[in-house]
Amino acid sequence: MALGIEQKQQIVAEVNEVAASALSAVLADYRGLTVAEMTDMRAKARESGVYLRVVRNTLAKRAIEGTEYECLNDAFVGPTLLAFSQEDPGAAARLLKDYAKELEDLEIKALSIGGEMLGADQLDRVAKLPTLDEARSLLMSVMQAPVVKLARTLNEVPGKLTRTVAAIRDQKQAEG
């Protein structure tokens, strides 16, 4: 079914809006996937805050113009599945990595984060990025460490005094 000019403009505008606010993007070749597999992947994508869309390459190239994902232009060859992470930079990479493990037909083409195009071999690196909650907990543990260490050091002074007094008491009881 041919798309009308208005439908094409609507698709380009929608993808451009998503790309402008996305944290990372992953492109994959979806050739050979069944409708059930694609439906399952779309459902998981919605749950994890990933925008997943199959778009014609010419429309996708127009849609990412003016965004930090223009570096992906050369990767738009063959059937392309676009995945944009909306909430956490590694979400799209994690989603497609998990599906690529179980579905041999899903092939990662390229990914981009921070305006830099990365090869498919960098998928693991991006997928291992911490989620927002994990990053916050790491930051808090780093910020909390000096305070905890100071509290332990200050607590050690009376503890050492108590152990010294107990040792002197034990020594005097042993002598007397």
pTM for the whole structure: 0.69
pLDDT at 1: 57
Tokens of 21: 């606010």
- What distance in Å separates the CA atoms of residue 90 and residue 25, rounded to the nearest whole number? 9
Residues 6+ apart with CB under 8 A from 138: 130
Closest by CA to 20, choosing from 86, 77, 75, 111, is 86
Low-confidence ranges of the chain (pLDDT < 70): 1
Over the chain, what is the mean pLDDT?
A: 83
